[in-house]
Amino acid sequence: MQKFGLLVPYIRNFKKFMLIMKLCSLILLISLATASAKTSYSQNTKFTLNLGQVTVKQLFDKIESSSEFIFVYYDNIVDLSKEVSITANNETLEEILEKVFKSSENTYKVFDRQVVITKRDGLQADTEVLSAPQPQKK
C-alpha cells in the first residue's frame, strides 16, 4: 500500500504535465493553421483582357472593377493618358503590369490587394550608359 502512496504526487504531476502538453499542442496547431491560411491575391487572380488602344487609367479602372485590387499612385508620376494595347489570356497581374510598364519610367509593387505605382529606381543610370559616347578606335 505504501507503493501507491509514493506514486500519488507523480500521478498528479503527470496529469498537470499532460494538460500543459495538450494546451501547447493546441496553440501550436492554431498558429500553424493561421500562418498557412494567408493567401496571395496577385498569384491567384488571373485576368483575360483584350483591350486595344486604351489609356493606362482605363486599364487600371478595368482591373479594379473586375478584381479586388486597388491602384495607388501620384498623378504627376504616372502618365495616365498613355495609350496601351493589352492582350492577356489567363495571366497574372504582374505579367500584365510588366507589359504596361516595360518601356516606361514607372514600376509597381504589390502589397496584398494594393498596387503601388512608383518611378523606377536606377532609370537615370540606365539611360546614361545607353547614351554615353562610344570610344573611338585609333
* CATH code of residue 48: 3.55.50.30
Q: Which structural domain range is residue 9 located in?
A: 1-33
Residues 94 and 27 in one domain: no
How many helical (H) and strand (E) elements, i.e. helices and strands, does the chain have? 5, 5
Over residues 26-36, mean pLDDT: 83
Q: Is it the case that residue 87 has pLDDT exceeding 60?
A: yes
Residues 25 and 60 in one domain: no
Is 89 domain-assigned? Answer: yes
Residues 45 and 25 in one domain: no
State the total domains in the chain: 2
Higher pLDDT, 74 or 127: 74
Q: From 132, 113, 108, select the one nearest 43 (Cα to Cα).
A: 113
Q: Is it the case that residue 128 has pLDDT exceeding 60?
A: no
Mean pLDDT, all residues of the chain: 77
Residues 91 and 112 in one domain: yes
Confidence of residue 125 (pLDDT cuts 50, 70, 90): very low
Is 138 domain-assigned? Answer: no
Query: Residue 20, exposed/middle/buried by CB under 10 A (0-12, 13-18, 19+)?
Result: exposed
Percentage of the chain beyond pLDDT 90 is 7
